[in-house]
Amino acid sequence: MTIVSVKPETGGISGEGGADIRRLELSDGSLFSFRLFYLPPHLASGSFYSPGTAEGRELGEGEEDALRFASACYRAERNALRLIARAEQSVSGLARKLERGGHKRACVKAVLARLSGLDAVNDRRFAELWLLSRLGRRTDSPRSLLAALRGRGISGNDAEKSLKKALGGGAEQELLVRYAKKNGLVSSESTLTASDFVWSKLKFEGFSPAAIQRFRDEWET
């Protein structure tokens, strides 16, 4: 099989350009786009797919399969970018969506490696934005917030650092007070209900000793 035509194609992440994207036509009538990045190094370099020089070249052994894999990865990448444009994505969440969309796991893995390297998908950023939204709508404890992030595929390290940032600047104290009131740890007369239980409960739910002490000082006076 031979290459009939090669054309450059634009696309990809805004500001990145599309210098390594090609539109290829083969002698069997196949016409598809691919990104050089997804090819093996020995095919992605040199003038293998340079417009004006590649036309008429016979494909080498395994080259067609490599090209079709690169094309499949490029399609997965385009779908990934559409999802990212709608909302911030986590790595594992984006992987699940792409696989549910019919993209093969090997392509998904390659695409996520590329997009993570370009910071188009970032678990820490996703976690921080998710927490910001959650803290504005719900009254969850730090323990349950960490568990929810882990359930979304965020690593323990990223989840803990993101939560620490989200609960800075007095946000933890505000959350603790809301949590205590919602869960009946403060009575309607603004007094604590069984203080020893309250302190143990707040500690178990992941509130910091400093936040618990400030809360204790306020409600025991």
* Whole-angstrom Cα Rg for the chain: 26
pTM of the model: 0.81
Mean pLDDT, residues 92-106 taken together = 96
69 or 221, greater pLDDT: 69
Statement: residue 15 has pLDDT above 50: no
pLDDT (average), residues 58-86: 94
| Domain co-membership, 49 together with 133 | no
In this structure, the answer to whether residues 14 and 32 fall within a common structural domain is yes
Q: Looking at the structure, do residues 23 and 37 belong to the same domain, yes or no?
A: yes
Cβ–Cβ < 8 Å for 121, 94: yes
Q: pLDDT for 173-204, tens place per residue? A: 999 989 988 888 776 554 545 577 888 889 99
Residue 95's domain spans which residues?
Answer: 3-117
Q: Check residue 9 and give its pLDDT.
A: 79
pLDDT of amino acid 220: 64
Confidence at residue 190, expressed as pLDDT on a 0 to 100 scale? 47
Q: Are residues 80 and 136 in the same domain?
A: no
- Tokens for 69, please give them: 């894999």
Per-residue model confidence (pLDDT) at position 217? 82
Q: Are residues 105 and 13 in the same domain?
A: yes
- Whether residues 30 and 100 share a domain: the answer is yes
* Domain edge (last residue) among 73, 88, 117: 117
Q: Is the predicted pLDDT of residue 19 greater than 80, yes or no?
A: no
Question: Which pLDDT tens digit goes with each residue over 44-57?
Answer: 876 788 888 888 88
Total domains present in the chain: 2
Cβ atoms of 184 and 193 closer than 8 Å: yes
What's residue 33's pLDDT? Answer: 93
* Residue 39, pLDDT above cutoff 70: yes
Identify the residue whose tokens are 């370099």: 45
Q: Tell me if 167 sits within 8 A of 127, measured CB to CB.
A: no
Q: Domain end: 88, 117, 146, which one?
A: 117
